[in-house]
Amino acid sequence: VKTEQLVQVLVADRARAGRSPGRLLTIALLAGGAISLGLFFATLGPRQDLVPALSTWRFDLKVALILVALGVTFALCRALGRPVLLPHPGRYLLSLAVLAAIAVAIELAVAPMDTWGRRLVGSNSLICLTAVPAFSLAPLVAVLVMLRSAAPSSPALAGAAAGLVAGSAGALLYAFHCFDDSPLFVVTWYGLALALVTTVGWLVGRRVLSW
Amino acid sequence: VKRVQTSFATIAVATSAFLVLLGLLIAIGALLGR
């Protein structure tokens, strides 16, 4: 093959490659999220006091925290989907840990000490631990399918990142049903549910994303 | 030093996004609550 021909072949491949990884990840999340949204409305549905809840700082803080988690984990998943080794992927999650710690500190400063236990346990913890992974399933499958067309440098880490971003999407949906808005509850139980989905993503990613 | 700077930058971006979103949600809540 002559150099000019090789260049032409490379250019043709590039044209076929088309969409960027970020765009593909967005499409995967939207597709999986749409299925989960249907599941959400078919099963739990939004809480009845959604509009009054929007006027409370705890609900707003919960949704804002999950939206930031979705954005941060999206960036992490996109970075880990590349064939280049990502130095210090934990840096992405550090920002989330800082925000979660600030939210918990605010709650501990504002809420009376004798209510901390009740706020931590809440009334929806078991539903949270089942609903968040359930709503994460379709986005997780969609993101893993998308990542199979990429070439992640670490299949296990990319799978875990897929679990994180899918778990955040599932948590965002569930947040509109859940009426436990305390940061103590959100950080503990949503965090546990997210860890569960991340572990599943890590285990599955290790198998299906290797190349 | 560069690693610490990048970590701080990441935290600053995430915190800014968080504050903007929180403000937006509070504004929506106030509008809907009227």
Q: For the CA atoms of B14, B15, B16, B22, what is the dihedral angle to 10 degrees? A: 110
For residue A64, which residues of chain B lie inside 8 Å, CB to CB?
A: 18, 21-22, 25
Q: Does B9 touch chain A (CB under 8 A)?
A: no
Report which of A35, A61, A77 is spatially closest to residue A190, judged by C-alpha positions: A61
- pLDDT tens-digit profile of A66-124? 999 999 999 999 999 988 887 788 888 999 999 999 999 999 999 999 999 999 999 88
Separation of alpha carbons A60 and A175, rounded Å: 10
- State whether residue B9 is helix, strand or coil: helix
The model's confidence at residue A12, banded by pLDDT at 50, 70 and 90, is confident
Quickly count: other Cβ atoms within 10 Å of residue A109's Cβ.
7
How far is CA A115 from its chain centroid? 30
Quote the Cα angle for A53-A177-A146, to 5°.
120
- State whether residue A94 is helix, strand or coil: helix
Q: Is the confidence at residue A14, as pLDDT, over 70? A: no
Instruction: Chain B: give the shortest CA distance to residue A146, in Å.
Output: 25
State the pLDDT at residue A15: 57
Q: Is the confidence at residue A16, as pLDDT, over 70? A: no
User: What value of ipTM does the predicted structure carry?
Assistant: 0.84
Q: Does A50 touch chain B (CB under 8 A)?
A: no
State the pLDDT at residue A85: 80
Report how far apart the first and last C-alpha atoms of chain A are (Å, whole number): 27
Nearest CA in chain A to B5: A91
Separation of alpha carbons A29 and A41, rounded Å: 18
Contact A68 B30 (CB under 8 A): no
Report which of A202, A191, A197 is spatially closest to residue A66, judged by C-alpha positions: A191
